[in-house]
Amino acid sequence: MQEIDKISGLPKDLFDITNITKGQQQIRISVKKIRFKKLLTIISGINEKILVKELGKEMKHKFACGGTVKENIIELQGDHKEKVKKFLIMKGYNESLIEM
């Protein structure tokens, strides 16, 4: 039996709503200097809580850095602005809506 999407009422294999929302999200990437002259990359604007946690975990693994996810904001230790932008574009986010 096919699983039905609660929002659209269509079968989930037929249509993936995450790709639609990815193209409309305004994402902001910034670098902040914190204590002891250390840098922190902050990614905000991703609306889905579950997706934010998955992306944060995947970015920490891919960029070999520490970090955390708080209130739909991903924080990565170090300056990873360019890498994060390329990563998000590869994941299907709209390049023109990613602000640095």
What's the confidence (pLDDT) of residue 99? 92
Measure CA of the first residue to CA of the last residue in the chain; give whole Å.
44
Q: List the 73-77 sheet strands across, edge first.
A: 67-70, 73-77, 38-44, 27-34, 98-99
**What one-character-per-residue DSSP string does 60-95 give?**
HHHHT--EEEETTEEEEEB--HHHHHHHHHHTT--G
What is the CA 82 to chain-centroid distance, rounded?
14
What's the confidence (pLDDT) of residue 13? 66
What's the confidence (pLDDT) of residue 78? 95
Q: Which CATH number fits domain 17-99: 3.40.190.10, 3.40.50.720, 3.30.780.10, 3.40.190.180?
A: 3.30.780.10
Where the chain has pLDDT below 50, the residues are none
